[in-house]
Structure 1
Amino acid sequence: RLVNLSVQLFSNTNITIQAINEYYLIEIILSSIYAIFSNIKTNCQLQKSEENHHLVISENDFSRNMYYWPIVSDVLNVLSHEYASRKFFLEKKYFLTWNEIMSWFQGMSVNHNDIQSEFFLQTNTNYLFAFTAENECCAMTLWTIIAHIMKQDFLEMTSMVINQLFIAIKEWFSDIGFEQYTDIIKDQVTFHLPLHRYISILTYMSMNYQNGELHNLFPIKNERFLLNLAIFPLKIQVVKYEIMTNAIWSYYGYEMQIQSNMYSSIRGNICSYMNDADIFLLQIISTLVNTNTFMQMFFKSFYIPGWLVQNTEKNLALEKSSYITLLEGSLIVLSTIVAFTPHLGRVI
């Protein structure tokens, strides 16, 4: 009943604007979401857990049963009004709060390729919750806002938001103890990178609908940071083909395949919110860094150099058929990065 009442209230533009200006509606909603999710956080298990100070939202009865949905629904109803979406992005305190909330989804549900890992003991619903939560809380909010800012008038605002996201990513790297893209741990992966996807989708939207220019939206000269930014989305692309080898993730093949399928099929607007956004981010970064460095990182992630330089198969960690699968996968992903045209927004 409360949900139905709030839908009726916030569907009215005049009431919503008045509530925002006179009764601190956005502050109340954001503080409520902040309080809800801050009480169900746990330590992130990405990279070396003992060096990781990042906190992520955990699965429990509260989150599994989606008790957060009424307040998230209110956010979507409020942001469906252009005035609210514009104020949400223009008021720095609002977006910084939302940035922090989103960071709690960044690195959720880490999969460890280790028979002794905690993931092996988790329920089969854990990863289902993580995909649902990111889609409903992060993706749907972004699509609701984007519907109102696909105009050149919002270019400066979009650039400011993307810059704040870069700052949040740098803080995330620091929190998880990640300094160099070569330090990524190969036997673990998270499918949940909402901060990366916000950067990707907002950049795509700005370039296609706001006449934004890439060198202004990505004013970053630090190549190492850009490669660090690329490695986690790239790892997900690699994992999709690691699963196909039936060797690397053999203990968790079924669960990993379900997650891979969900990653590729989660819909936001009319695109695959996760996969398309990650591919577009890789496309951007590949044009901004040294080509040889990017290609070296790319093929090394797929285990290709180590296989090709071996003089004997006795020293190989995997069967030859597994390397062939990974080589095929690398060429498919590379051709996707080179030729794929994502659609991360509606056609005007």
Structure 2
Amino acid sequence: MMYIQRCDLIETPCISNLTFFSIVSIAVRTYDNATTCGLVWTPNFVAYRCRTCGISPCMSLCTECFKKGNHQRHDFNMFLSQAGGACDCGDTSVMKETGFCDRHGPNKSVNKGNAPRDLMCVAEAMMPRIILRLIQHLRENSKIPGADKTAIQDADSFITMLLDFNNMGGLMRRVMTQALTNPQMYRLLNEVPHPAETEYAQYMAESKRIYDEALRSLPNPETANDDFRDSTAAGPEHLVHKTFLEELVFWTVKFEFPQKVVCLLLNMLPDVDYKEALTRAFVLHYSRISMMLEKSQDPDTLSNRVVHVSVQLFSNESLALRMTEQLNLLHIMVVSLKYMMSKILIRNTLHNSDKNFHYVVDCGKAVMKEHCYWPLVSDLNNVLSHRPVALKFMADDSLLEMWFVFLSMFQGMNVNQRELIQHVEFEPNTYYAAFSAELEASAYPMWALVSHLTDNTTAHLTRKLLTVCLASLMEWFDAINFYNPTVDDSLQVSFHLPLHRYLAVFLCQAVAKQGIMLNEVLPAPDVLHLLMMHPLRVQVSFLLHSLLPFVEDSM
């Protein structure tokens, strides 16, 4: 059972505890100097997005802040939030100050003076222990199969209390975030007291044992260790938590992002130091999130809740860049995507299947049909919208090689075989999964990268990318045993050629925008003949399909 023993804080008969709480709340709010809104909403909430004021394409505003801001004749839209979100009004890293409402922004805060020293002393002493009790509750219920939902329901009032504390304003929020991010307090309160024979010591020892067991149940993906044998670029193999916040994020991942806990984590984002700490904790557990998405019984709900958190963290350019430089965020994202797709690879059947040693994703698997990869791709597209991050992506040889290995998993997938002998009663339902995956996981990142290659200052990056892309294509030709442009298999075709698309798009960008001569980057004629064959086969198949009704009518 989850509870905090209530103590009567005042003995005056005419004032109830609730009234006293309200008086304290008003006193704390008096010293609230918060400059951002930070209102958190769940799915199906009506919000606004102003492209004129937005620095990040993911910025959003609540109705009140939008209406009180100056957005006349701006390029804005009202939308129904699918994954949830938070209001960015007042955040200069996400939107321009001209779009802030009259209550938010660094230039609109009112100096309300310093709070008395003793105003928050009780809260500062109690808050770490309140958070510890929540952590202990989550530990206790983790050992019971299927008890995650029940655990959150049992803690509903407790989490609501924490949300009420946060809503008191910046002063109380600061007390909460300091308790969550203080490593000394986390270490002190988690120590098993001596003597070990006491009831509380035994309880803490059992709590630690459950916690250690839970950590072992969520290891780093195996492919992450394969890709980075001599580094921790894909995230730590064994998790080591140093703060309550890091452990709380762990349980959030383990319990598949409970909505109430997600709201609690996001409600404190107006605290700048906390936002960076939460982002670091999120990146620390990122590779484990991909595992949870793959195994989830409700991947759609989990996907929305993951993006609800990540979009608030990765939309900040400076923060995303720091995570890239200090925690290898891009490597973790690419490795996580590779891990997810590597679990569903099958032998490719393009051309002569006996001589084809290329492996592609199985579009009939749940990962593809349920779009389990969508949150990871959405996050990658988000961070690649930041120019400094995208340039680092294209400048990193190992990262580019990994990315094109990932793209190769889609190259030639979902082969279509035309049947001439008997009628096909049921068409396979893998088309939508295949086209959606190539669009979201291949094309969207491609256009995000291209958008930053606008002049000759980045021509060297385009050359590097073209070199890696062409090398990947040659490896693919070798894997499918394709050395001659004349092949005898006109009844089959794959519409999915992301490597060809990357080569074509970046060749076009190099010549049209970056002053690179075509003969400098064009491959040899014999390679060109090989490159042309598969796109031409797609065009021929499309033409035959278009003419088929006319042929049937004439018969």
Per the TM superposition, whether the score is higher than 0.5 is: yes
SS of the residue corresponding to residue 56 of structure 1 reads strand
Which of 505, 508, 512 is 1:208 aligned to? Answer: 512
Distance 2:398 2:479 in 1: 22
The Cα of 1:64 is off from its aligned counterpart by 0.2
Partner residue, 2:411: 106
- The one-character-per-residue Cα deviations of 1:198-241 (angstroms, maximum 9, x if unpaired) are 010001111111111101111x33x2221111011011111112
Partner residue, 2:538: 236
Residue type of the partner of 2:405? E
- Asked whether the equivalents of residues 180 and 224 of structure 1 are also in contact (C-alpha less than 8 Å), the reply is no
- The one-character-per-residue Cα deviations of 1:152-209 (angstroms, maximum 9, x if unpaired) are 1111210121111111111101111111001252111111100001010001111111
Residue type of the partner of 1:152? N
C-alpha change, 1:57 and 1:116, in structure 2 (3 Å) is farther
The Cα of 1:246 is off from its aligned counterpart by 2.4
Which of 436, 441, 453 is 1:137 aligned to? Answer: 441
Which stretch of the first structure deviates more once superposed, 24-33 or 91-100? Answer: 24-33
The Cα of 1:94 is off from its aligned counterpart by 0.6
Which of 402, 411, 427 is 1:97 aligned to? Answer: 402
> Normalising to structure 1: TM-score of the pair?
0.68
Q: Any gaps of 5 or more consecutive residues in structure 2?
A: 1-304
Residue type of the partner of 2:402? T
Residue type of the partner of 1:229? L
Residue type of the partner of 1:160? K
Which of 345, 351, 371 is 1:66 aligned to? Answer: 371
- Pairwise CA RMSD: 2.3
C-alpha change, 1:249 and 1:132, in structure 2 (3 Å) is farther
Which of 28, 34, 51 is 2:338 aligned to? Answer: 34
C-alpha change, 1:121 and 1:152, in structure 2 (3 Å) is farther
Which of 324, 344, 349 is 1:45 aligned to? Answer: 349
Distance 1:57 1:187 in 2: 21
- Asked whether the equivalents of residues 45 and 52 of structure 1 are also in contact (C-alpha less than 8 Å), the reply is yes
- The one-character-per-residue Cα deviations of 1:77-113 (angstroms, maximum 9, x if unpaired) are 1111111111111100111000000001100111112
- Aligned counterparts, 1:1-348, within 5 A: 1-59=305-363, 60-114=365-419, 124-183=428-487, 185-218=489-522, 220-221=523-524, 223-246=525-548
C-alpha change, 1:176 and 1:122, in structure 2 (3 Å) is farther
Identity of aligned residues (%): 30
Residue type of the partner of 2:333? I
Residue type of the partner of 1:187? L
Which is helix-richer, 1 or 2? 1
Residue type of the partner of 1:234? L
SS of the residue corresponding to residue 360 of structure 2 reads strand
SS of the residue corresponding to residue 149 of structure 1 reads coil
Which entry has the higher C-alpha Rg, 1 or 2? 2
- Asked whether the equivalents of residues 113 and 249 of structure 1 are also in contact (C-alpha less than 8 Å), the reply is no
SS of the residue corresponding to residue 483 of structure 2 reads coil
C-alpha change, 1:49 and 1:28, in structure 2 (3 Å) is same
Distance 2:551 2:482 in 1: 23
> Normalising to structure 2: TM-score of the pair?
0.43
The Cα of 1:244 is off from its aligned counterpart by 3.0
Residue type of the partner of 1:84? V
Distance 1:135 1:21 in 2: 28
- The one-character-per-residue Cα deviations of 1:9-67 (angstroms, maximum 9, x if unpaired) are 00001111110111111111111111001101111110011111001111211210101
Residue type of the partner of 1:13? E
The Cα of 1:72 is off from its aligned counterpart by 0.7
- Asked whether the equivalents of residues 11 and 77 of structure 1 are also in contact (C-alpha less than 8 Å), the reply is yes
- Asked whether the equivalents of residues 165 and 195 of structure 1 are also in contact (C-alpha less than 8 Å), the reply is yes
SS of the residue corresponding to residue 246 of structure 1 reads helix
Count of residue correspondences: 250
